[in-house]
Structure 1
């Protein structure tokens, strides 16, 4: 292996000096969130679980979104490699809690080691991963270099780098090339991510333009009792939803809804903010328009005289999508980058979106091509689109059918990803019975 550039050597020398400060900060945060001291010390590389026998594949994801996105991939790899064990690491208490609820077979969770020599080496000495898959933009130099040095092939899956990150790496081309040179495979979300990695010195033979990992995640769970309760409360009233909305978007959605009420006086809007803790402010905003609302966080369902249902809770999104035939996806009227369109598509919702979907460009392209999604830019365009779907049921049926077709491609995409990873990382299925365990 080529000698590490000066910047990497400097980083290796400085991180032990910064470790006490970093440890103080992360341990306090984890403790405040109810994590035990023993588990918090996993961030120092001190394992709280034994290493299982046989081959172990390590996945590292930064936080909630990345962790949940990778669980279905772990499940699929587990089916392909039935004698292989899995480890998933993350850095936040919330991600650990959610992973524990959805843990795939033969998998366990630990908090990731801080990127300093002692924690990383302690972690690797204990777990001895046979392959490592980092998710999205987790480019921690020591974690990467030390893992590769021990012979574990590395992949960066669902790879994407922010413009700021790319700009930073470009200032140090030798360091960027050295760090990226440790990977056997880059499986990117889209062509833009692939181009960024190539511009930073990634080996073109190792860069594969793939799909957004979130498109392979399992469908959201729905609660049958909640679905039935909402359907009964609506009593046959038409419904549309605006999901994952941000500040500055709710005003536009409410303006569109007011226009729609002129033609559809019994129409109900289900407003699902991205951050439910904004519920009180949004409720005040709705009241200021003169529209009546029901608020889910208060245990309410929409009554006959309530034009807006504010769904300001967590964990019920699948139930809401199961009822809503039309869903506008937020984070797209403002330059935020959009949010996951796969989740409502799983339920066959006709999709509307604003123009700002840079985080899901590769996903919206086929949705537009199939006729499953429609772009809208402001309140009048939203109102026109929803009105069209309400008054022309054949248009709504066609869009919903196209959305289901898009969602049905999930398993084929996942199988393709498993095959690509297995080839690049030399992961073979188990040997025939009696021939011993599967090996890397």
Structure 2
């Protein structure tokens, strides 16, 4: 009954969702030439042969499955993967990263489309065109009409790297018949942690295991070596602190920490890399007209801040800085609808030591693993960030020792993408 009600709600929502898409397009949140994809209208032809549909919501999930995409295409040279996402930033990231994956790039093997909204008619149109042999959803993409449409066609459906936060768990518990009906339709589920697995089982998932977290298995972030050298030359001789993946409200705290640090570390440069690059202009204005990377500006010696409001350059920044505060983790972020942290393994793989605010629920397992080797510091505000950065800037040997401990933890799950690729390909073999 709950599933039927959701189907009816999705059908009735079609007209207002069309208006929503137009508003999103006007705000620059949809691709102007590909809006039809959100209504299930394909803009690419289906390639011949076997096709796996893999769906990841946004940037974090997309980055986590890049090694899986590489493993899938390496193990089965004839396979094509339809990769859907829901955000422009994730589409841009795939356009940047796919040509560099594998021996010859995956641009011709992995096809990107924007995922249709959860309207039955749009999903039917999408599935009729693509006809995948199996479908894999990533993390927490539990869209009822999508799940029901896939299983109606008797296509195997799995959930990989499943995440069920405490907040989401409370919400789904209010709809026990719907959550159970949806989770029982997955052939199998792999959860990123035992905590997530326990919540999914309690909600009705029949088969859940925990082989590891794909975000712990990602390769190191890429970098343009020539550009890295150019930036290193521009900041040579200066102590540098990075504030990475910051959310609204956190830059002011970082600026306060910078003010406390600059007397102890003359020439200090604080680099701010906001999670949403479109906020760069406002952040730069708030920080006294700081130079912006999006405008191809480099910091001069008189500049105390540099705003790196570009996409796909964290690999450069982590290599450049050596210490980073990870955002979306302070109460100020939660006040603006954020909170939960960001993946600390990305900087750790590059020898960049991290601090974070107290809100890390999205990556608890990763932070706990790093805390076990004293490779992460939890900071509660500007004073604590400043004290941590001061200690790390004053003691390069301690910083290096902790960074190496962090690197060893962050690279332990390197075999997980091959393992998951084998399971997905076996699922398609069973389909025939």
Normalising by structure 1, we get a TM-score of 0.84
Tell me, yes or no, if structure 1 residue 8 matches structure 2 residue 3: yes
Cα distance in 1 for residues equivalent to 2:84 and 2:309: 30
Report the Cα offset of residue 133 of structure 1: 0.3
| Pair 321,194 (structure 1): closer, same or farther in 2 beyond 3 Å | same
Number of matched pairs: 417
Q: Secondary structure at the match of 1:263?
A: coil
CA contact (8 A) 2:133 2:428 kept: no
Alpha-carbon displacement from aligned partner over 1:330-352 (angstroms, at most 9, x marks no partner): 12222411112222223211111
Tell me, yes or no, if structure 1 residue 144 matches structure 2 residue 141: no
CA contact (8 A) 1:31 1:40 kept: no
Bigger mean CA offset, 166-175 vs 180-189: 166-175
Tell me, yes or no, if structure 1 residue 89 matches structure 2 residue 92: no
Tell me, yes or no, if structure 1 residue 111 matches structure 2 residue 114: yes
5+ residue gaps, structure 1, are 1-5, 429-438
Match of 1:78 among 67, 73, 77: 73
CA contact (8 A) 1:30 1:93 kept: no
Cα distance in 2 for residues equivalent to 1:40 and 1:408: 39
Q: Secondary structure at the match of 1:197?
A: helix
Structure 2 match to 1:236: 237
Cα distance in 2 for residues equivalent to 1:31 and 1:252: 32
5+ residue gaps, structure 2, are 99-105
Tell me, yes or no, if structure 1 residue 56 matches structure 2 residue 51: yes
Cα distance in 2 for residues equivalent to 1:381 and 1:178: 46
Match of 1:21 among 16, 22, 30: 16
Structure 1 match to 2:103: none
Cα distance in 2 for residues equivalent to 1:125 and 1:370: 51
Report the Cα offset of residue 137 of structure 1: 1.9
CA contact (8 A) 2:93 2:312 kept: no
Structure 2 match to 1:436: none
| Pair 31,101 (structure 1): closer, same or farther in 2 beyond 3 Å | farther
Report the Cα offset of residue 315 of structure 1: 3.8
Normalising by structure 2, we get a TM-score of 0.85
CA contact (8 A) 1:27 1:41 kept: no
Report the Cα offset of residue 94 of structure 1: 4.2
Structure 1 match to 2:350: 347
Report the Cα offset of residue 312 of structure 1: 3.5
CA RMSD of aligned residues (A): 2.9
CA contact (8 A) 1:337 1:360 kept: yes
Tell me, yes or no, if structure 1 residue 121 matches structure 2 residue 124: yes
Tell me, yes or no, if structure 1 residue 382 matches structure 2 residue 385: yes
Tell me, yes or no, if structure 1 residue 255 matches structure 2 residue 252: no
| Pair 323,95 (structure 1): closer, same or farther in 2 beyond 3 Å | closer
| Pair 54,344 (structure 1): closer, same or farther in 2 beyond 3 Å | same
